[in-house]
Amino acid sequence: MKPLKKIANYIAPTGPVVLVIMDGVGVGHGDAGDMVAKASTPTLDWLKDNALYTTLKAHGTAVGMPSDDDMGNSEVGHNAIGSGRVFDQGALLVKRAVASGDIYKGDVWQKMTGTLTDDNTLHFMGLLSDGNVHSHIDILLNMLSQAHQQGIKKVRVHTLLDGRDVPPTSALDYIQVLETHLDGINQSGDFDYCIASGGGRLYITMDRYNADWPMVERGWKTHVRGQGRQFQTATNAIETLRNETPGVIDQDLKEFVIARNGEPVGPIVDGDSVVLFNFRGDRAIEISRAFDDPELAEFDRGEVPQIQFAGIMQYEAELQIPKQYLVSPPEIDDVMGEYLANAGVRQLAISETQKYGHVTYFFNGNRSGKFDEAKEDYVEITSDLLPFEQRPWMKGGEITDVILDSIENQKHDFIRVNYPHGDMVGHTGNLLAVEISVETVDLCLDRILKSLKRAGGILIVTADHGNADEMYALGKDGNPKLGSDGLPQMKTSHTLNPVPCYILDCSGNNHLKLNQQSGLGISSLAATSIMCLGFEPPEDYEPSVVIVG
């Protein structure tokens, strides 16, 4: 890594450069489902008229996803922003490994399947959808077919229901595809393949950043112990739970266990193998630790079965979580945070729990820890353990308080912050709450802007992907799709829309101009931040959004 060079004749701002990532706040079409447009946002409106403004790509190939039909997400978005380049991400790496068959030729798959006896079971666990953010159902179906071809007699699937990266009540669409696939295998001979358990992704198993370990414990009891409310089929479970809780969306459905004659069909026992087929790391780490970490103290697992466990990818390289994995994750090096630390730039990274790991771990190229303890401060504001629609303002005020303290007391030269509101509240589908969440971020921006004007800093405002900008599912004609009740269908997933980029130099010392190069993505934000700090960006980084004129 070469040291950064200073830009000749550039006068560094007296205040810090502040990079604000408004998570899930994209540029929509201004229609009825665009809560960003509907919200009262005087600060963003003022910035659009008075700052440099453009839009950036934040989905598909611009962030390392397989195609431009794939939405962006916070993980790949922060990888791109922090590294200044585009790396092939988990979805693409796994897709290639499955297509080539390499995933099945490796030692781990051979170990997972080769140690099974006829009395043991191969288990698959993960998010059942085609959202392509955490997982993809086609990968699961391919692995099931491979197990069948290898003659593995008994397979169980532990399904986590989405409703977040896909339509909010679409679980049965995926369950039915899976059940048909399993039935086809069972009819081909002496095979016993079936769904064993499930539940909503925000109720069991898929916690992140140590925010709610009881969620993981519920998943452990459901998947491993086979404890929970019993049903004959997953379809019956989902239909019953929906009828009992009208309006519930898939991500919040309670756990269920499939049973035959009162006995759970798929508890995980000694000698079994378990594959976690999620490829995104943040919500896979804790359940992986539950299987892999002999010293886990976050909850009482009881007697831990002696099994083979593997993730489809390694979710945390430095801590080796999990120890076994089927596909190697992207190797992201020479990230902006390391360049700045080596240049002596004092840095602050801050968010609340829900996005703290994004603005640290993912921003740093899937690396835990700091590059320089003396130059970096990482601050996590603890998130509320409540449904986000009940607290749409989340911890915006508390986050902003820390930022203002840094600006006014000249503690840092570069501040990066993630406001999770547009994404976390956007996933709930509650339009009023989403509108309030966007307005909260705007109020926080107003406070930062006033402080930066006094300090003479530079403000960069952007997003990692869209969400709150498109809360209705749109048809090919651009109009909202209508449900059977005649009302617009809610959309809780990310969008394919571009994201905004506002840049305001409050120092008045330099003449920044927009780079006129077309097609820039959010990976250009690293070079932009480095340039605003007065350094020449690394040669292999994507071009800066601004140039010094």
Q: Name the residue with tokens 């392509």.
A: 132
Q: Are 340 and 408 in contact (CB under 8 A)?
A: no
Question: Of 122, 194, 206, 212, which is closest to residue 160 (Cα–Cα)?
Answer: 206
Question: Of 473, 407, 474, which is closest to residue 17 (Cα–Cα)?
Answer: 407
Instruction: Report strand pairing: 535-536 vs 5-6.
Output: antiparallel
Q: How many CA within 13 A on the CB side of residue 442?
A: 21
Q: Are 437 and 443 in contact (CB under 8 A)?
A: no
Q: CB neighbours (10 Å) of residue 247?
A: 9
- Written in H, E and C, the secondary structure of 524-546 is HHHHHHHHHCCEECCCCCCCCCE
The set of residues, in sequence order, having a beta carbon less than 8 Å from that of 45 and lying 6+ positions away, is none
Q: How many CA within 13 A on the CB side of residue 323?
A: 10
Instruction: Report strand pairing: 122-128 vs 499-505.
Output: unpaired
Alpha-carbon dihedral of residues 20, 24, 30, 32, nearest 10 degrees? Answer: -140
- Paired tokens of 447: 């406070």
| DSSP H or E run through 42 | helix 42-50
**Catalytic annotation present for 74:** yes
Q: How many CA within 13 A on the CB side of residue 99?
A: 7
Distance from the Cα of residue 395 to its chain's centroid: 19
DSSP state of 7: P
Q: Tell me the three state secondary structure of residue 351.
A: strand
CA triple 98-315-319, angle to 5 deg: 140
Rounded to an integer, what distance in angstroms lies between the CA atom of residue 477 and that of residue 423?
Answer: 25
Q: CB neighbours (10 Å) of residue 67?
A: 12
Q: Which of 74, 288, 351, 451 is catalytic?
A: 74
Residues with catalytic roles: 74
